[in-house]
Amino acid sequence: MIYLDHNASSPLLPVAREAWLDAADRFPGNPSSPHRAGARAEHALEDARHRLAARLGCQAADLIWTGGATEACATAIHHAALAAEPGAVAWVGAVEHPAVRENARCFFAGRVEEIPVDARGLVEVGWLRERRRRERPALVAVMAANNETGVLQPWREVRDWCAAEHIPFFCDATQVCGRMPVDGLGACDLAAGSAHKFGGPRGVGFLKVPATGEFHALLRGGKQAEGRRAGTENVAGVLAMVAALEWCEARITAGEAAPRAAWRDSFEAAATANLPGTRIVGAGVPRLWNTSSLLLPEADCRQRWVVRLDKAGFAVSTGSACASGSEEPSPVLTAMGISASEAGRAVRVSAGWNTTETEWSALRDAMERVWAASRATGGSGGPE
């Protein structure tokens, strides 16, 4: 099986596995315990906090550990909603992950406005300036990179604009961590990441929060993280996450992203040339080097591309649910003006650092075989 679904979850990197096993052996104590075993675990967490803070460009005290990005997003939005003036609104990007959209809907009940995106999937920064003449939001949430399309958002520009306007800014950086440099994220008021998207373990992540001032915690209980996130920390998970991030950042620094982007680009060029009507979502704007979102020909929901490719030995994902039946089309693609029937033909391919050029070529060949077989059976069949 060739695994090309890293935006859903990236397999554990050997370096993360080693760090996890090592930490599980060396730090059995609860970091809050008063004995030396506890102190050693606390010290290891503190070291990890400094290492991550150095990457993000913030203070170690600004970081709290979470159980992944969903918890980090919920914590950030919950805090912003409770810190807001009564009745204040949240502006949330139209292509945000449900971890942001659903929590905004919940905590800013009835007070969420969508920042529109253009046909390429980029948030319209001009909308912020225009809207600001009429109102002042309590939170602006714009992700760093989209999970379905890989489109990179102008989060640095939005961050700086929010800072100048003294409006709290939250960046869900889940898909960018480990793939693009993360420096500058620490300058966001709130920023979230998740280990399993870049080769760390599942169920561990981080949130950058303001170190000073009142913080409205979501998880309450023990006094961990200065009361900002209660619950015994996942020491081994945190150490494995930071090891994975450092490993990925070394690949970025070594310039290994550019050739990988070129492999993805030739795959897309072949798909658009050989599979009639194929369209690349987000073509022409900066995207993550690992992601390709394609609207493929032929919309037979019973024989989706994903199923056919799975049978051919490739794990890829739908960019959206099938347009017919009970499933709704992807809100991301809908926000980009893509029709429900087109969205039903979306396939997302997402590679990892260890994906090879040969694997991209093998996928290209498999897609051409699937297409040829489907043509031979009148467009609704395929290799069973």
- Beta carbons within 10 angstroms of residue 48's beta carbon: 25
Residue 45: which of 243, 233, 248, 244 has the closest Cα? Answer: 233
Smallest gap from Cβ 66 to ligand PLP, in A, equals 8
- Beta carbons within 10 angstroms of residue 328's beta carbon: 13
Our CB check for ligand PLP shows the closer of 194 and 330 to be 194
Our CB check for ligand PLP shows the closer of 147 and 355 to be 147
Smallest gap from Cβ 298 to ligand PLP, in A, equals 27
3-state per-residue secondary structure call for 229-281:
CCCCCCHHHHHHHHHHHHHHHHHHHCCCHHHHHHHHHHHHHHHHHHCCCCEEC
Smallest gap from Cβ 251 to ligand PLP, in A, equals 20
CB–CB of 116/87 below 8 Å?
Answer: no
Smallest gap from Cβ 173 to ligand PLP, in A, equals 8
Q: Is 188 a catalytic residue?
A: no
Nearest-angstrom CA–CA distance, 277 and 269: 12
DSSP codes of every residue in 55-122: HHTS-GGGEEEESSHHHHHHHHHHHHHHHSPTT--EEEETT--HHHHHHHHHHTTT-EEEEPB-TTS-
Our CB check for ligand PLP shows the closer of 172 and 233 to be 172
The residue number whose beta carbon is nearest to ligand PLP equals 68
Our CB check for ligand PLP shows the closer of 242 and 270 to be 242
Our CB check for ligand PLP shows the closer of 29 and 201 to be 201
Distance of CA 257 to the CA centre of its chain: 17
Smallest gap from Cβ 135 to ligand PLP, in A, equals 26
Amino acid at 40: R
Nearest-angstrom CA–CA distance, 332 and 305: 19
Contacts of 160 (CB under 8 A, 6+ apart): none
Q: Could you give the 3-state DSSP secondary structure of residue 324?
A: coil
Smallest gap from Cβ 302 to ligand PLP, in A, equals 26
Our CB check for ligand PLP shows the closer of 73 and 219 to be 73
Nearest-angstrom CA–CA distance, 7 and 198: 9
Interface residues with ligand PLP (CB under 6 A) are 68-70, 73, 97, 99, 143, 147, 172, 174-175, 194, 205
Question: Which residues are identified as catalytic?
Answer: 322
